[in-house]
Amino acid sequence: MGPDDLIALIEALRQRAQTYDAALHQSESLTRYALIDPLLRALGWDTGDPGLVRPEYAAGSGSADYALFDTDSSPLVLLEAKKLGEKLPPIAMTAVVGYAGALAKQGAWVKLLGSTSGILWELYEYPTLTPKFAAPTGGRGGGGRGGAPTGDQPLARAAQAKNGLMGGMPATEQTMKAYADAKAQMPKVAAEANALFAKAATLGPALAKYNLTLTAPQTKAVGSKPSSVDSR
């Protein structure tokens, strides 16, 4: 399928999502059948060929919604499917991370992990969880989590690495380095947040006359310990 044909298909799928919005919002299986499967086929993953695509692929104590194969006997990609409009969770919080970890213990290394709700797609490298493509911060049409942290932000990277390890992802040198690098940036992130909070605090009085309330968190010294509480 050429680029023009692929673009035409994507537009047709968007129209289908709008036409059958209510039904697709209620059913993951219908979303898979009507939106996800057609795009996979257009990209060369024949959903009728078990050598390329296997739904409900067993891994560990569960099963991935999709396992996409290349020429190898091991899956190349694990996908988690959601019904149309359902929020895509951070990749480190998805079940596919645990499934990939379980397969890695068996010697089958997955290269990519993804999640999709039919219209929104996110794809990450494994085991680093580096985004291959994902919706940018600030808006995710069709019920996305607008403004959520992306994998390029220190807090998100640290959380992804930590949660991935807890979910069974092997502690590779790349993963531990990503976690350490993200932690090293935390003081800078905290300082920038404090500056933002201080600026927000000055806006509060100005907004009050318009019956708008802006409550900014109190700034805190970077690296300071929580205040002790006397429980006597």
Which of the given ranges, 40-54, 127-141, 175-189, has the highest pLDDT on average?
A: 40-54
- Three-state secondary structure along 67-126? EEECCCCCEEEEEEECCCCCCCCCHHHCHHHHHHHHHHHCCCCCCEEEEECCCCEEEEEC
Question: Which pLDDT tens digit goes with each residue over 58-116?
Answer: 999 999 999 999 877 789 999 999 999 999 999 989 999 999 999 999 989 999 999 99
pLDDT of 73 reads 78
Domain spans, the chain: 3-150, 191-215
Mean pLDDT of all residues belonging to the chain: 77
Three-class secondary structure of residue 206 per DSSP: helix
pLDDT of 1 reads 74
Fold of 3-150: tt1808, chain A (3.90.1570)
pLDDT of 71 reads 73
pLDDT of 11 reads 93
Q: What is the pTM of this model?
A: 0.61
Give the closest residue to 73 by CA, choosing from 106, 95, 98: 106
The larger pLDDT score, comparing residue 30 to residue 222, is at 30
pLDDT of 146 reads 39
